[in-house]
Amino acid sequence: MSQIAAPVEMMNALVLYGLGDMRHTRVPRPAVAPGQVLIHVKFCGVCGSDIPRVFSKGTYRFPTICGHEFAGIIEKTAPDVKEFATGDRVAVFPLLWCGKCAACEQGRYVQCANYDYFGSRRDGGFAQYVAVPIHNLLRVPAEVSLEEAAMIEPAAVALHALKQAGRILVGRPVAIYGAGSIGLMVAQWARVMGAAPILLFDIVEQKLALARQMGFVHAYSSRREDSTPDIDSLTAGAGVDVAVDAAGSPAALLQAMASVRRNGCVVLLGNPAGDLHLPAALWSQLMRREVTLAGVWNSEYSIAGNSDDWHATLAAMADGRINLRTLITHRVPLEQAPAAFQMMRDNLEFHTKVLIQP
């Protein structure tokens, strides 16, 4: 007996077959399981972590479709899905939690001991379609564009980073080392929280110019020797309450550590680019000042949306407290994405946020 198989529907996708081997090709559309919807991806951001993922570190298996920062329109829903309908605009929390471990029991999904992840452990958003469980969906209000909605993930991480400092920032000085897209998102949240002054440091002059254009007047080159006097003069020599390393470079982290005041907090946000040599004098200063080091991993998400980073970010986008459109330097069609990845890796053009349009 032969069965009549339904014709397989195909889609365009950016498939990573091996390190540096990324091709624009046709693959089958994902099947939609119960409790899931099929999303037509409109924008998928390239994360800083995607560049090493594609060119040096790899993914958990090959081939993989990368991309974890995506938003789009629901193409179809599984028959049992009642909460969402075709045509709904949605953003996606890319982590699939197990629901059984100790962290999941407390609703701390990002600490799940046995998680899956769109765009690294399983196929993600550099494709026309992705099937996503409804518990990972956020409804995008009309005031928020889908390109901004594709940036909820990094913006939620930026919010989470400042929350990890665990203090009220109204009227308090904050320093951010690294004025790339994530650093400028942290700066926007610091402004929402009332921090002042907000000091930004980077070695790339164009990033500092963008920061000033966004209203951050205290944007300084950290190449210059006089970056410390800036901190001293703006904080009456005391240092900042919170310093965020949003660069992940050993030099930036050392400067962040050196800039915090007594009982201040250093937030570790950037992915490490190398080993850190901690001079004894600075080590001792961290002790004398009783400085806290706060690690940041992803962001908090809840299905119901009660005070988590994701829904707070979406609300701030909707009422204009944060504006991420200025951060988008490139919008790239899917078929041109391999060239865009090389541009980013080799730093051929100035870029902050690059969005892929499947």
Closer residue to Zn ion in complex, CB, 32/185: 185
Could you tell me the smallest distance in angstroms from the CB atom of residue 249 to Zn ion? 18
354 and 333 Cβ atoms separated by less than 8 Å: no
37 and 130 Cβ atoms separated by less than 8 Å: no
Q: What span, in angstroms and rounded, lies between the C-alpha atoms of 126 and 55?
A: 16
Strand-pairing partners, residue 117, are: 95
Closer residue to Zn ion in complex, CB, 154/239: 154
Q: Of 13, 112, 138, 175, which lies in the binding site for Zn ion, with binding defined by CB under 5 A? A: 112
Nearest-Å Rg of the Cα atoms of the chain is 21
Counting Cα atoms < 13 Å in the Cβ hemisphere of 167 gives: 19
Strand bridging mode 198-202 / 174-177: parallel
Supply 152's token pair. 């909820």
Could you tell me the smallest distance in angstroms from the CB atom of residue 69 to Zn ion? 5
- With binding defined as CB under 5 A, does residue 51 bind Zn ion? no
75 and 38 Cβ atoms separated by less than 8 Å: yes
Q: What span, in angstroms and rounded, lies between the C-alpha atoms of 127 and 337?
A: 11
- With binding defined as CB under 5 A, does residue 44 bind Zn ion? no
Binding region for Zn ion (CB under 5 A) out of 41-49, 55-63, 75-83, 253-261: 41-49
- With binding defined as CB under 5 A, does residue 98 bind Zn ion? yes
Could you tell me the smallest distance in angstroms from the CB atom of residue 125 to Zn ion? 11
Q: What span, in angstroms and rounded, lies between the C-alpha atoms of 198 and 315?
A: 23
Closer residue to Zn ion in complex, CB, 182/211: 182
- With binding defined as CB under 5 A, does residue 104 bind Zn ion? yes
| Strand, coil or helix: 79 | coil
Could you tell me the smallest distance in angstroms from the CB atom of residue 142 to Zn ion? 25
Binding region for Zn ion (CB under 5 A) out of 23-31, 106-114, 267-275, 278-286: 106-114
- With binding defined as CB under 5 A, does residue 196 bind Zn ion? no
Binding region for Zn ion (CB under 5 A) out of 7-15, 97-105, 228-236, 338-346: 97-105
Interface residues with Zn ion (CB under 5 A) are: 47, 97-98, 101, 104, 112
